[in-house]
Structure 1
Amino acid sequence: MFTGIVEELGTLESIDRRGDSARLRIRGPLVTSDAGHGDSIAVNGVCLTVTEWETGAHFDVDVMAETLDRTALAALAPGDPVNLERAMRADARFGGHIVQGHVDGTGRVVSRVEHEHWHVLRISLPGDLARYVVEKGSITVSGTSLTVSAVSGPGEADAWFEVSLIPTTLEATILGGLAHGDPVNLEVDVLAKYVERLLDGRGGGSR
């Protein structure tokens, strides 16, 4: 489990494509400082398993076709920055919200409005995820825990949401460099999905 508090901006060093899968090598001195075989590291919000590593340098992960199809990892190129977070320790502070590292879908940056001390990103939202996103609720954007500042109305043809980025987020995550049309990984609040499931069971599928 993760919290969506990005620990380090890493760099994708290489992609070794192997038919229906790929092996990624990612530079991350901090997250590899105590890495071990089989550890989980979230890369742009995708929970991946460490297969090889060099302490204080880089680590390798294998990515299967389904992950490449369902996330924005396939759009990465060598040299691109990536958000990195190690799995949460049981004795650590819970700084963000519950993040599984299981991407629900992808969106794209629709617009970016720059204010003096913060930026506002509007991001497209797959229609089947819109019901889980509420104003002032939590969402994970490429591994970053954020608070939703605005959402599209029920009558709008294309669903979207907005997040406001403070200077720390702009500097410490890949979100600071996103431009119009860039893809992002989205994970909605898992608690909303559990509540929906429970209500379905209680009401026979009715809302």
Structure 2
Amino acid sequence: MFTGLVQALAEVVAIVPEGPGVRLVIDCTALAARAQLGASIAINGCCLTVVEIDGDRLAFQAGSETLSRTNLGELAPGGRVNLEPSLRVGDEMGGHYVSGHIDAVGVVDERTDDADWSTFWFRVPPALTRQMASKGSAAVDGVSLTLVDVEPERFSVALIPHTLAATTLGGRRVGDRVNVETDLLAKYVARQLDDRG
């Protein structure tokens, strides 16, 4: 379980083919010292397991299913990713409940910059917007965000300068693909309502 509060913006060092998947090697001074083998860390919001630690470098394995259903399959050496270690019992809950299981890949539909601030619109499948509400939460590339407006096939967020500087979102442009996870509680409410017809 995660909160959507990114703790490090890290660089992809290598992507090594392994069987049907890949090994992602990430250079991350901020998290490597306290990382443990087998620990869960969200990379762009996708929960992966630490399989190797080599100094400041952490390695993760991502299978074909993960690569096809997230934007991790588009990563390249030199690219940057958002990292968040999993919650520990007693940790402060600053964002919202994030499972690390990506619901869909969305697309940056529109970006409006106003000085150091930005408003983004993300286009997603309609099934996801049915689980969203204005002032509710969603995770985009693992970043917990408050929704401003929700339309049938897209939603908007207003990003402060800190979020733009401390996460991958600051570098996102129209057409870029992002990992989207809707609010965990909203999923269950939507499921119950769907079951009732």
Q: CA 1:199 to 1:110, structure 2 compared with 1: closer, same or farther past 3 Å?
A: closer
**Equivalent position amino acid for 1:76 in 2:** L
1:168 to 153, 162, 169: 162
Structure 2 residue aligned with 1:36? 36
| Bigger mean CA offset, 6-15 vs 191-200 | 191-200
Q: Which has the larger radius of gyration?
A: 1
With normalisation by structure 2, the TM-score equals 0.96
**CA shift for structure 1 position 19:** 4.3
Q: Distance in 2 between matches of 1:168 and 1:196?
A: 32
Q: Distance in 2 between matches of 1:197 and 1:150?
A: 22
* Root-mean-square deviation over aligned CA pairs: 1.2
Q: Name stretches of at least 5 consecutive residues in structure 1 with no aligned partner.
A: none
Structure 2 residue aligned with 1:58? 57
With normalisation by structure 1, the TM-score equals 0.91
Structure 2 residue aligned with 1:109? 108
Q: Distance in 2 between matches of 1:47 and 1:190?
A: 15
Q: Distance in 1 between matches of 2:35 and 2:43?
A: 14
Aligned residues: 197
Structure 2 residue aligned with 1:191? 185
| Bigger mean CA offset, 100-109 vs 25-34 | 25-34
State the SS of the aligned residue for 2:139.
Answer: strand
- 1:53-104 Cα distance to aligned partner (Å, 9 max, x none): 124x011111011000100101111000100000012121100000000000
After superposition, residues 68-83 of structure 1 pair within 5 angstroms as: 68-83=67-82
**Equivalent position amino acid for 1:29 in 2:** T
Superposition misfits of 4+ residues, deviation over 6 angstroms: none
**CA shift for structure 1 position 196:** 2.5
Structure 2 residue aligned with 1:179? 173
